[in-house]
Amino acid sequence: MNRPAVFITGAAAGIGRATALYFAARDYHVGAYDIDEVGLTRLAAEVDGRGGSLRTGVLDVTSAAQWAQRLTEFHAEVGRLDILVNNAGILRAGPFESVDLSTHRAIVEVNLVGMLTGTHCAFPYLRDTPGAQVVNLCSASAIYGQAELASYGATKAAVKSLTEALDLEWERHDIRVIAIWPLFVATAMVAGMETGTTKSLGVRLTADDVAAGIWDVTRKRSRLPRVHYEIGAQAKVLATVAKYAPNWVVRTANKYFSGS
């Protein structure tokens, strides 16, 4: 019960898997959840082989009932919830009108509604764990709307706002809510994807880079609260430009990088 606990969604592959391995290697009790049972089985075998502590379970993040069940099971076993990592997400690229409406809706359901649902369900467990944290996976695509990634960028912009609001609301409960901002990461999510921005900026981050970033920022507590953390030099530069440059400059830069 004294070992800290982290609950990670989308943990069967990519960033979620790397994060589960990273925390398990550092004496966390890890809850790894995904719709991919095969991927979870492989993850469990690797963590077990390294002597780590891991619980897995099938979780469709769009289902409130599944969220409630998985969180109840995890908390019953470990007695706490120090960190919730909302990582599960999907991405589909292409001109807005050429992507099926059902696909646009699925992106919103998983990336935004799934995160909102899980965070809401997790609140009692976070509240009852001193110093609890929520880590939301945002994206540099939310800095300014990205051509060919319209729905994805829109969900991440909403995640940005949700993160900021909850960090304000839940401060009184000693719950910190933060957002992680990588640019493109070399995972199956972007494998084979070609957009103007991936061609011009490349895919320079690995899942391990992001996992290490999540670990680092969850160690940091300062007197001056900070909500957003960019991962990688490119994301930091783009965020700084967007913060201080006139809107027309940011728009022009995004148009250039996307080849629009």
pLDDT tens digits, one per residue of 202-245: 777 899 999 999 999 999 877 788 999 999 888 888 888 888 88
Map out the domains of the chain as residue ranges.
5-258
The whole-number pLDDT of residue 1 equals 63
**Across residues 120-136, what is the average pLDDT?**
98
Q: Which of 156, 241, 249, 143 is nearest to 197 (CA)?
A: 143
Helix (H, G, I), strand (E, B) or coil at 44: helix
Using a pLDDT cut of 70, give the percent of the chain over it. Answer: 98
**Is residue 244 annotated as a catalytic residue, yes or no?**
no
| Of 152, 229, 244, 256, catalytic | 152
**Across residues 91-119, what is the average pLDDT?**
96
Phi and psi angles of residue 31, each rounded to the nearest 5 degrees, phi first = -105, 120
Task: Return mean pLDDT, the chain.
Answer: 92
The residue assigned the tokens 């304000």 is: 168
The region of weakest confidence among 19-33, 59-73, 168-182, 203-217 is 203-217
**Across residues 106-130, what is the average pLDDT?**
97
Burial of 25 (0-12, 13-18, 19+ CB in 10 A): middle
The residue assigned the tokens 């995160």 is: 115
Give me the CATH code for the 5-258 domain, please.
3.40.50.720
Strands (E), 53-209: 53-58, 83-86, 133-137, 176-182
Distance CA 65, CA 49 (A): 32
**Across residues 105-116, what is the average pLDDT?**
97
Give tens-digit pLDDT for 130-180. Answer: 999 999 999 888 888 888 999 999 999 999 999 999 999 999 999 999 999
| CA 34 centroid distance within chain | 13
Q: Which two tokens stand for residue 46?
A: 């690797």
Q: 245 CB contacts (<8 Å, ≥6 apart)?
A: 253
Helix (H, G, I), strand (E, B) or coil at 32: strand
Distance CA 19, CA 217 (A): 13
Q: Tell me how long the chain is.
A: 260
Strands (E), 10-140: 29-34, 53-58, 83-86, 133-137
Tell me which amino acid residue 146 is.
Answer: Q
Distance CA 185, CA 102 (A): 25
The region of weakest confidence among 8-17, 86-95, 191-200 is 191-200
